[in-house]
Amino acid sequence: MNKPRKVVQCSAFLVATLLQTIAVFAQAPGEGPAAQPGRELQQAAQAPIQAPPAAEPPTAPPTPMTTPVSPSVQEKPLATTPTEHLSTGVSSKFAAELYGFVEFDAIHDSTQSFNDLAGNTAIARGNYAASHQRTIFGARNSRIGFKLKGPDSEWVKSSAVLEMDFLGNQPSPVSEAGFVTSPTFRIRHMALKLDTPYINVLIGQYWQLFGWQSNYHPNTVEIQGVPGQIYSRSPQIRLSHTIKTEDVSIEVAVAAVRPPQRDSSTPDGEAGLRLLLNGWKGLHTAGGAGTAIDAASIGVSGIYRRFEVTEWVGTPVSANTKNGSGISVDALIPVIPATPTDRGNSLTLNGSFVRGTGISDLYTSLTGGVGFPKLAAPAGGGTAPTYTPNIDNGMVTYDSSGQLHTIDWLSYMVGIQYYLPPSGDVWLSANFSSMKSNNIGLYGSANSLVNKSLWADGNLFWDVNKAVRLGAEFAWFRQTYVDGVKAHNYRSQFSAYYIF
């Protein structure tokens, strides 16, 4: 009889001890339901530091708690000890914001020309791929990012952005399943910014200044960049300054940008001027997930670059140089303005005009089919030597006499977005773009070079709630080859986004 009694007593003791332990942890500061993924950094940056409850009265008065302030309005700490006079007024606190979206895409194409990202890829003509369809399900365009702020001083505010997606280059060859379900994580933006009263400095990988990206990007369900759209990011050093008044702001910027050809040894030079009308604002969605109230604006930007390409021989010993350049004029016009509290029945137009030479890399997947010509066989017979260029295809090429040329492109794009009343949670958008090259047909086979492109789409979006967005698109692609053959593709796409 004693043995069962001891078992009961031990069990009761263990249960009591367990309950007491649970009660202690339940009262511990900072414990509770699991935080939402990624919110820990933001909460840690915003919440004041709390001391754990003391078991006995402290032997010295506690340090007074201060209310946390925004990193942009930091206060100097009060000196309470002889050594604190060394303080520079810099706060050690960081503020972190997690953002991004989860995206699902269901895409159907009338030809087998494209992957999920179509860009300016050539449409198949006269073969099996041109007469058969393709369907793709994917999530590669999902995105994750962090915005960091601080530490700041009295005259410098520091921040950084880290943004990644899953559209990185895949190893070749790769299986279809591997391409879609095991995509490569890649950098989109990775840049720091220093803001002062006199000049702002951006260093790192970010949107190109050319085209004032992403202020004028169109609203599409389709993964950008779409045909005819300037869409590119690159490592750079940018200096800018904004002159602000109540009604008008003027932004001026210059940048030294990664050269598209490292062997040119010369960074690209970019510059831009932008005028904003602060009292005239409209609702603008760039891409499929970024919606904001933006001021009416017009921007002008230019680019200048230098190429140094190895001579067109099998064993080069010298190089030929050529310069490229471009100009972009972009505008955002809120025809029917909007406010954060009154978004319904708003109408916004966006447009872009670009003219340049040697700038194909600023578009997505644009070469027009141009490459470098093959070298001729020796006069006495034998195998023709192989020419290996030190630059990517599409920007420059040689003619049959060994003269280096840049490829010209002219493009324009217009878009419209109308947000239905009363709330603006449902809206329609449409876009049209045109591209052409006047000289690409001089440098290759007429049946493999594309010198004209037209593209149009229509989109329907619905914000189910503050996080969930649904979109549907129908898009029309037409490319004209130099020999006059026109190739078409029709794309239908449904996308779902969880925006955080």
pLDDT in tens, 207-235: 999 999 999 999 999 999 999 999 999 99
How many Cα atoms occupy the beta-carbon half-sphere of 278 within 13 Å? 10
| Cα distance between residue 2 and residue 133, in whole Å | 81
Taking all residues of the chain, what is their mean pLDDT, rounded to a whole number? 86
Asked if the model's pLDDT at residue 438 lies above 50, the reply is yes
User: CB of 408 within 8 A of CB of 357?
Assistant: yes
Dihedrals phi, psi of 499, to nearest 5 degrees: -100, 125
Binned at pLDDT 50, 70 and 90, residue 57 comes out as: very low
| Cα distance between residue 412 and residue 351, in whole Å | 7
pLDDT at 436: 98
Nearest in space to 70 (alpha carbons), one of 150, 168, 8, 138? 150
Dihedrals phi, psi of 310, to nearest 5 degrees: -55, 145
Strand partners, 226: none
Asked if the model's pLDDT at residue 274 lies above 70, the reply is yes
pLDDT at 381: 80
The pLDDT of 383-390, averaged and rounded, is 94
Binned at pLDDT 50, 70 and 90, residue 307 comes out as: very high
Structure tokens at 390: 């030190």
pLDDT at 491: 98
Asked if the model's pLDDT at residue 273 lies above 60, the reply is yes
Q: Per residue in 250-261, is it b (16+ CB within 10 Å) or e — as a string?
A: ebebebebebbb
Asked if the model's pLDDT at residue 377 lies above 50, the reply is yes
H/E run at residue 17 = helix 2-26
Asked if the model's pLDDT at residue 68 lies above 80, the reply is no
Q: pLDDT, tens digit, for every residue of 81-103?
A: 333 333 344 445 789 999 999 99
The pLDDT of 349-375, averaged and rounded, is 97
DSSP letters, 106-165, are EEEESSS---S--TTPPPP-SSTGGGS-EEEEE-TT-EEEEEEE----SS-EEEEEEEEE
| Cα distance between residue 456 and residue 34, in whole Å | 46
**Least trusted range by pLDDT, from 40-49, 76-85, 93-102, 249-258:** 76-85
Q: pLDDT, tens digit, for every residue of 126-143?
A: 999 999 999 999 999 999
User: CB of 326 within 8 A of CB of 354?
Assistant: yes
The pLDDT of 263-283, averaged and rounded, is 97
The pLDDT of 394-401, averaged and rounded, is 96
Q: Per residue in 306-339, is it b (16+ CB within 10 Å) or e — as a string?
A: bbbbbebeeeeeeebebebbbebbbbbbbeebbe
pLDDT at 33: 34
Higher pLDDT, 471 or 85: 471
Task: Record the pTM.
Answer: 0.81
**3-class DSSP assignment, residue 388:** coil
Higher pLDDT, 362 or 47: 362
**Least trusted range by pLDDT, from 84-98, 211-225, 279-293, 427-441:** 84-98
Structure tokens at 143: 């995105």
Give the CA radius of gyration of the chain.
29
| Cα distance between residue 102 and residue 82, in whole Å | 52
pLDDT at 433: 98
